[in-house]
Amino acid sequence: MKKYLWLLAAGLVTGGLALAQPKTLPAYANLGVTTGKPGGSLTLSLASAPQTLFYYGAIDSAIQALTNQMFDGLIEYNLANYQIEPALATRWTITGESRVYTFDLRRDVRWHDGRPFTADDVVFTYTQIVANPEARGGDPGNFEGVRIEKLNDFRVRFTLPRPAPAFIHYMRLPIMPKHKLLPFSQEGGRPRAEINTAWPTNVNPEEVVGTGPFRLRSYTPGQQVTLVKNPNYWKRDSAGNPLPYLDQLQYLIITDSQARVAQFLAGNLGQINITGAEFPDLKRREVAGAPFRVVQFRALFGSPPNLSFNYNARNAELARLFRNSDFRRAMQFAVNRERIIEDVYNGLAERASFGVAPVSEWYYPEVARLQGRFDLSAANAALDRLGLRRGADGIRLLPNGRPLEFTLTYGSNSAVFTAIATILQNDFQRVGVKVNLQGILAANLLATGRGQDWEAILLALGDQPDPELRTPIWKPGGALYYWHQATQPTTPTGQPQFNNFLPWEREIYDLWERAASTTNFTQRKALYDRWQAIAAREAQVIMIAKENAVGAVSNRFGNYIFSLGVIPGFNPIPLIFQR
């Protein structure tokens, strides 16, 4: 990521001149994009069934994938250079000491049902959904105190209580139709939590309307989702041809990663994202003449797995131990990242930081040193210093005399998570710590982590181009700060429970508070460097590895783009065509 992305978010006048409507995409010749032909169908996969068909009704990877094709945000990323550029907004300005954002909206956009898109939809989305503390997939923390106004039918203004250099990135959030969702909103006379009941999976597909390239045709529960082309989509290719090229998208729900690969090899899926473990076999097949292409890149986006200990585990002895940084550091010595990178990812991964990819300008290079290296002798010595002596069977004992053992929850339908969990279990045994493995569906890991009934968990949380976008995860007290839930507010609009903060957590919290309103890049970078250093030093969670973005696509399809990882909110499927 270049610093121009920072400059766009730092409070300078942005957006450039208003674009002609509809929007014409760049040629992207450097990415191998060519003019496609209309027609055809692409079949993809979902790793789990959607919990809802309303993006903000759940934190759910399946509905996120579908939303990317059915809805749009005010801004999006250029695929070639990752600059922020207009989407449903045609231009914007940032004034008032970086506190006032004014957006001009595209005038030729219609919802899938033919109703016009206007400023009412933008104001409704942000006031009634995004800023709603009861919306399960909302983001009220980043919109606290933000005034959102309709200036006319095609202009909106956001006035912030203080400068927020990353605020522009939140304009990527999908805009929802007011005329469909008003009955579920507080503005429509309903309790705030009622918004989560919008568009359940058995809803009439005609009710789910967006502005995106595809619209919902049908959902067969647990089996497949079918989307069809939006003939009135507002984008064109560089030659002026309407997008998307494809007539239909089908998503098969396949929960097992090996089954997804098998379906791809059988020709039933047109494209899949794969792991480093699956790369060698597929690459060998490609070289031998198989009708598909396999590519891999260092990833900006993507979700590196981490090992988290529950600081508030139901077992009080374990909870006290898990809150102890010395214990977590000891266990970090027993995490063989190098082996995992080589054996699990086939070398297509690197060491990970906290919410910031190594390829990002925000990455702090000292993280790897602070995390340390695999060293069982150091792990054993550190556990000895904690007074955790070994019993007759070699397993260490807690102060109450019981064995030091805990349950590690992982995604059993993921080959990567299964392999990592097994390696951890074996190496932890070598330092006298017994680990019992508990496999669940990977799609349920986050919900499990946000609950109380777990002791340790392998979870993967996505990286973003600006650390601020990961505030709910990495800022103590955040909605997704699941490993120490005692820091979270007791009410949706309340303050964090500062009395439960560990001293280093308070330091991190203060760093995030300062970084959120610091507009100078160098100063802000120093604050986030300090945060990463503390997180690594304290082993807040144990980051495992950052996998490269690896994908495979059938030769039947052109214009497949997969560099730096999948871009949330702007999947280039509209450019894909069937040969």
Structure confidence by residue, pLDDT tens digits, 475-515:
999 999 999 999 999 987 789 999 999 999 999 999 999 99
Q: How confident is the model at residue 74, as a pLDDT? A: 98
Q: How confident is the model at residue 167, as a pLDDT? A: 93
Tell me how far apart the alpha carbons of residues 418 and 458 are, in angstroms, rounded to a whole number: 10
Tell me how far apart the alpha carbons of residues 429 and 497 are, in angstroms, rounded to a whole number: 35
Q: How confident is the model at residue 20, as a pLDDT? A: 39
Q: What residues form DSSP beta bridges with 76?
A: 85
Q: How buried is 34 (Cβ within 10 angstroms: 0-12 exposed, 13-18 middle, 19+ buried)?
A: middle
Q: Is 16 left (phi over 0), alpha (psi -120 to 50) or beta?
A: left
Tell me how far apart the alpha carbons of residues 485 and 313 are, in angstroms, rounded to a whole number: 10
pLDDT at 17 over 50: no
Q: How confident is the model at residue 9, as a pLDDT? A: 38
Q: How confident is the model at residue 5, as a pLDDT? A: 38
pLDDT at 562 over 70: yes
Each residue of 217-266: pLDDT tens digit? 999 999 999 999 999 999 999 999 999 999 999 999 999 889 999 999 99
Structure tokens at 180: 């469909």
Q: How confident is the model at residue 571, as a pLDDT? A: 55
SS3 for 367-391 is HHHHHCCCCHHHHHHHHHHCCCCEC
Give the DSSP H/E element, type plus range, for residue 326. Answer: helix 325-333
302 pLDDT tier (thresholds 50, 70, 90): confident
Q: How confident is the model at residue 569, as a pLDDT? A: 41
Instruction: Read off the pLDDT of each residue in 155-178 and give the average, rounded to a whole number.
Output: 95
The SS3 of residue 241 is coil
Q: How confident is the model at residue 59, as a pLDDT? A: 87
> Residue holding tokens 């990242």?
337
Instruction: Read off the pLDDT of each residue in 67-95 and give the average, rounded to a whole number.
Output: 92
Q: How confident is the model at residue 448, as a pLDDT? A: 96
Q: What residues form DSSP beta bridges with 552?
A: 272, 294
Each residue of 378-411: pLDDT tens digit? 999 999 999 999 999 999 999 999 999 999 999 9
Each residue of 451-478: pLDDT tens digit? 999 999 999 988 888 999 899 999 999 9
Q: How far is CA 139 from the centre of its chain?
A: 14
Q: How confident is the model at residue 284, as a pLDDT? A: 96
Each residue of 418-432: pLDDT tens digit? 999 999 999 999 999
Do 173 and 130 meet the contact criterion of CB atoms below 8 Å apart?
yes
Q: What's the predicted TM-score (pTM) here?
A: 0.81
pLDDT at 540 over 70: yes
Q: How confident is the model at residue 296, as a pLDDT? A: 86
pLDDT at 566 over 60: no
- Mean residue pLDDT across the chain: 92
Q: How confident is the model at residue 19, as a pLDDT? A: 38
pLDDT at 13 over 50: no
Q: ω into residue 244 within 30 of 0, thus cis?
A: yes
Tell me how far apart the alpha carbons of residues 118 and 111 are, in angstroms, rounded to a whole number: 10
60 pLDDT tier (thresholds 50, 70, 90): confident
Q: How confident is the model at residue 565, as a pLDDT? A: 59
